[in-house]
Structure 1
Amino acid sequence: MHNHYTEDYLYQLISSTIQKVGLNNELIMEESGINMSYNFITDKVGFDAKRLVEAWKEIEAAIPFEKYVQALTMHELGHAIDREALEQSLDRTLEIMEMKNDHSDIELYTNEHLLAVIIEEHEMNIVFEETAWRNAKILNAKAGLVDEVTFEIIKNHSLATYQSIYTEDLAIYNQVKERTVQPV
């Protein structure tokens, strides 16, 4: 990690961003391997300092680190704004998690019905991510923290991760579905 980007520095940067947009979500440091996250059950924003720096380095555009962190923070707060919808999805999310735990990866990726549930999960996640980014854009417009071009680059990079995994699994699903269609 860059010497400048210590856990304390990041904690202060993220905390000040939360305050600047007028929210008061609690912030926690985690070693989860996920750059930033929002836990809608505890209503807390989490960050992994090491992964946050690594993720920033993965963007091919020259984005200032502070702007990257501010945009991601607003994105996680965008989830907080959408907390009610996230809570309403909890039962289905738990059902999907249980299904995934009850089956091997081979079963999940060769059974049309199980794979359809994975596709459903991807689609739910993409909707939540897009909503969080729309909310983040509103927060950013009010606070004026990240210029619009930089914000869009970060948003598009973030969404591309979800879209890429979805596209890969959708291709597998279509292949499995094609194999299970019986000729008439």
Structure 2
Amino acid sequence: NMGVHDLTFYDVICRNAGCFGKKEAWVDAEDGRSVTFAQYKEMVERLASGLKKLGVAKGDRIGVIGKNSLEFFLIYGGASVLGAIVLPINWRLSADEVAYNINDCTPALLFADNEFQDTIGKIKKDIPSVAHFFNLESAGGSFRPFDELMNSESPVTPAEVSWDDGFVIIHTAAVGGRPRGALLSHGNVLCAD
């Protein structure tokens, strides 16, 4: 019987799918999409498989710039299966600040909402670590479609991930200088309100 201190975000997804399978895990107020806990687990595993095909492995960073969406929620789940680290980037930042945060953490993948793709386009040459640019929304945009990552049929073996492993990097506000990236573990994220 695992205590909460042994859990990762993916463990919680699996547990919730078992306990609350048909209950809604996510309802998108904007577009009316809803996903049950069981569907969320399945979608997360499919995304993890797609990310793995691109070479995402434990400890790798995935940049995300966008507003709350089902896709954003899926990226947290997919990353947790692989032991990858999510780098959410504040969309209110200037292009220079976005570039700084990206170069500080060197993600190979970057997801962006349609409305932020122009901003990213302006700094593409300044963020050499990013090899893959994906659309965070289900349609439109100039980046590769999100759904491209969702059509992988091959089952994914979850990485060995522990409560203490890094999961999310949050950049603090820049006070008299550059923002600092704080690495939060699965435990930090699960225990936060």
TM-score by length of structure 1 reads 0.29
Counting strand residues as a fraction of each chain, which structure ranks higher?
A: 2
TM-score by length of structure 2 reads 0.28
Counting helix residues as a fraction of each chain, which structure ranks higher?
A: 1
